[in-house]
Amino acid sequence: MSALDKERQLILTVSSSPHIRTGEDTRSIMLDVIIALLPALAVAAYMFGVRAILLALASTAACVFFEWGYRKAMKKPQAIGDLSAAVTGLLLSYCLPVTTPFWAVVIGDFFAIVLVKQLFGGIGKNFVNPALAARAFMFSWPVIMTTWVTPLSYKSFFTLKLIDASTGPTVDAVTAATPLASLANGAIPESVSLLQAFVGQVGGSMGEISAFALLLGGLYLLVRRVITPVIPLSYLLTVAALTFIFPLGGNGRLEWMLWQLCSGGLMLGAVFMATDYTTSPVNPRAQAVYGIGCGAITVFIRYFGAYVEGVSYAILLMNTCVWLLDRAFHSGRFGAARKRLAPAAAQAGPAPSSAPAPVRPPERPAEKPETGSAGAAADEAGKASAGAPDPKEEKSDE
């Protein structure tokens, strides 16, 4: 067979669905998430020094190690190449103060990877976000989780020891309250401006401080079609609407709303945490309800909770409702026509009358007259018998 005949030969490949394939896989998606998180890490390094970078690297390395070790011990195929463990470690470090001891970070990584993710089957099987679950667990050490450092307060970029457990803040850094601490008391922060809160020059968890950097990363994920805007928009718009309608402390509605949007972990949660594939709904309508629920619970905890931040717990609570939302807003099978239900009145039929219907007596069937020659003969016989004398009467007369 010549080369031309080989080119003209039709080759059919028979395989199971899906038949439309793409070059994207879990690794490429996680790599996009890591790239989107880099601007926030750059801001954290600038505001808090090299310790922010080391904390992120340590958390990432520990998560990768625990995933490798668990799957090795359980004799399962290795999955560290999909970079999902690296994303979990990076996100967990973003939720922590830059002063968090490294031993505490490692414990949190173990909780996230082994207890929340791997024990439920690995990637795609966990029902809550591993990084947020580990953060909630790490509040077992409340002092560690609520010690904040003022940005740009270090004397050297390479300062590693910002907090001394015995004496408090070192001479290289000073602690300060976060904007949420003031907002929880119904007051607008006076030590920082709204612009500083937007770019990240405020105290807080190292990856949550810059709303600008997180929005930049979210825009990258939207362009790359890694996430859809449904969950972030419904989340942020719900927080914006509730805080605009119900401001605290007699503050201006617009200013209060903007401070709530730019403070705490709202941007990190809405863009990177709530959009996790495994722990978020699939149907767009369910995603909208999911985002609205996250926003409403966040505002409720910020307004009435003892802890000033409610993003983590709001997302974790809504994670447990994902199965219900997917079931309530279940989409039809692709390519299958939807069954149109008849109106309720037509299905139910006419309404029954209150009075009983009258019972009619059964009608007797009408007798059909005989037709044809047989009928005529019968008529003639009847007439003849009627006109003829009775033979018994004649005999009696005789």
DSSP for 206-273? TTTS-HHHHHHHHHHHHHTTSS-SHHHHHHHHHHHHHHHHS-STT--HHHHHHHHHHSTTHHHIIIII
* pLDDT over 70 percentage in the chain: 71
- The per-residue b/e assignment along 316-338, b for 16 or more CB within 10 angstroms, e otherwise, is bebbeebeebbeebeeeeeeeee
Please name which of 341, 301, 276 lies closest in space to residue 30, comparing C-alpha atoms.
Answer: 276
d(CA 102, CA 107): 9
* Window from 46-60, 128-142, 379-393 with minimum mean pLDDT: 379-393
The whole-number pLDDT of residue 76 equals 93
Predicted confidence band of residue 193 (pLDDT cuts 50, 70, 90): very high
Mean residue pLDDT of the chain comes to 83
- Enumerate residues 6+ apart whose C-beta is below 8 A from 369: 375
Instruction: Say how far apart CA 348 and CA 355 lie, in whole Å.
Output: 19
Residue 87 has pLDDT above 90, yes or no: yes
Confidence class of residue 1 from pLDDT cuts 50, 70 and 90?
low
pLDDT of 365: 57
Side chain identity, residue 49: G
163-164 and 168-169 beta bridge pairing: antiparallel
Q: How confident is the model at residue 13 (pLDDT cuts 50, 70, 90)?
A: low
Q: What top-level class would CATH report for the domain 26-328?
A: mainly alpha
Question: Each residue of 136-156: b (16+ CB within 10 Å) or e?
Answer: bbbeeeeebbbbbbbbebbee
**Is residue 83 scored above 90 in pLDDT?**
yes
Cα 60 to Cα 96: distance, rounded to the nearest angstrom: 13
pLDDT score recorded for residue 395? 43
Sign of CA dihedral 302, 306, 310, 316: negative
d(CA 41, CA 48): 10
Residue range 234-254: average pLDDT? 95
What is the arithmetic mean of pLDDT over 267-287?
Answer: 95
This prediction has a pTM of 0.77
pLDDT at residue 36 above 70? Answer: yes
DSSP letter for 118, please: G
Q: Is the pLDDT assigned to residue 28 strictly greater than 70?
A: yes
Least confident range of 61-75, 318-332, 359-373: 359-373
pLDDT exceeds 80 at position 260: yes
d(CA 173, CA 52): 14
DSSP codes joined into one string, 180-195: HHHHHTT---SSS-HH
Indicate whether 363 pLDDT > 80: no
Please tell me whether the peptide bond between 77 and the residue prior to it is cis, using omega within 30 degrees of 0.
no
Q: Which two tokens stand for residue 270?
A: 């809405």
User: Which residue type sits at 30?
Assistant: M
pLDDT at residue 156 is higher than 70: no
